[in-house]
Copies of this chain bind each other. A is one copy, B any other.
């Protein structure tokens, strides 16, 4: 070798950290041991040795451990180091546990927030914290290329003033703060990535106002119900003062998150922000409680998933990376996960991930975070489709659905001579203006076509740089005119009902397209349609609003008059007819209806629904296209023929009758 030296990977491990243990107070402490179990660090050390990464047959923490890894000795963190993060009162209290009576320890344990103490807890906590400091120091000083601290008790829940969640000192926070202090020229910016399944409230609090430490945490949150069960881990917690924008919470809304979800969040948020922050040093607060098999965490990250995440983080800071153990309670899971992480530190490629498509909840969470964090990180901005609404600062604006209905009304009034049909509402809203239009002489028509539709579809073209919508390249797709023109050609009356997705000004109401459409259809039937001269009614439903039609024909006796119910629903939920009128209604609806769905509608997924949709959903048909308006274009002719046949057969019936 000339001048190219491959440094080893450092490891901190010390058997003395196994002495911190929960005092046994009941038989169940044996059968169901506390999850923060002293064996956690041993099992990780053991699997590294079993796989030849460490050469230590005695598993006692030998000095010389082979060619790949290098032992970094653990020492107790000093008062001075700990006090960089923690208050004197906090330190004194932890010190005091080292000479408490058994009874006092049990009582201290009981009244704490998920922390236990014995007389060795204090020393273990000092060693754990010192191990975190030493592994970081060894990397920063180029003694090792990167490092792993196999330490306990964990640290990220310990706040400056109070222990919590199995944590006594905030190990990673203390290490980061002391590295910044002691290597001011070399290390100016540290990224702490916390993939423990719980939010690291202690770490977040330690750097809340600090722009030099970027804290990113992925954790279960569930509206603040998951431990630590506060709102500090929420998406809107971005730091404050100079530290605003240097705190990034990625809070999962449910358990069961796996590799594809974590990788998606890494690709969309962690890595773009990480690259832009361009840290001098990276610390992973590495709980393995999101690992598959961890009952407390309830997530599904595989060892390959951990290896991919570690690998990505190693691409920052020229590989200056330290991994510090936090939680993780399934002994097998944490061992396998730690092995996968360590192999990446050594230089291996990460394992393959076969499913890379995230859950839709994950996509939503990630978009929400991008919306919030793009105020601070430019790399999240380009191509971002959702514009900050900024209603707070704006006084004059219309909701797009109201503006589109305004244009639609103008067009229908001028092109088709439709007029407004008044409807009485308790509340006013632009969304109720001109909600229903009809032919002027509708009450005298023999046949009436009732079109119940959502707001027209907008296929928007977003400026990829500015993120604003390009109105000249975006289109408004509206299928109703096809039916209006057809109806007018046949001298049928037309009733056009617009169902907005929300009622402007009443956002907090428990409104949905489905119930909005149901109420409106019943109202229009009761107050208007049934009083018309018309003997033949055709219903046309477009998108979600179609549910109002299904609801109406199930709740009123309409069979005498209604000839056909045609709906174009794309991927919307199928609605079944209720049989409260009589048992024949299902049969009638099946024969009188066509329900055109997209080819990707879940009802065609054989794995979910081995049989074709049941008759109570009407005659459900698979179209080639997606999207209700495209399907309407595809199947318009078929629909019209069906209607004409229905009208004719009724005429024959009435002729013969």
Contacts and interface: CB of A to CB of B under 8 A. Distances in A.
B275 A271 contact: no
B386 A357 contact: no
A569 to B, nearest CB: 14
Contacts of A6: 68, 346-347
Interface string A1-31: 1111110000000000000000000000000
Contact of A52 (B2, B349, B478): B2
A382 interface: yes
17 contacts: A1-B66, A4-B68, A5-B52, A268-B383, A276-B356, A319-B349, A347-B348, A385-B460, A385-B464, A387-B459, A393-B625, A396-B479, A397-B476, A400-B476, A407-B407, A460-B468, A472-B500
Contacts of A5: 52
Interface stretch (A283-291, A359-367, A645-653): A359-367
Contacts of A608: none
Question: How many chain copies?
Answer: 2
Interface string A466-485: 01111111111111011000
A208 interface: no
Nearest to A319: B349
Interface of A: 1-6, 49-53, 55, 66-68, 145-146, 263, 267-268, 271-272, 275-276, 278, 308, 311-312, 314-321, 346-354, 356-358, 360, 363-364, 366-367, 378-379, 382-391, 393-401, 403-404, 406-411, 455-462, 464-465, 467-479, 481-482, 500-502, 504, 625, 629-630, 633
A219 to B, nearest CB: 20
Contacts of A398: 407, 475-476, 478
Given A272-B267, A477-B397, A501-B470, A462 B465 contact: no
Scoring A315, A407, A465, A472 by chain B CB atoms within 10 A of each residue's CB, the highest score goes to A472
A315 to B, nearest CB: 5
Contact of A278 (B317, B352, B389, B472): B352
Contacts of A278: 352-354, 356
Contacts of A357: 276, 378-379
Contacts of A401: 471-472, 474
Contacts of A353: 275, 278
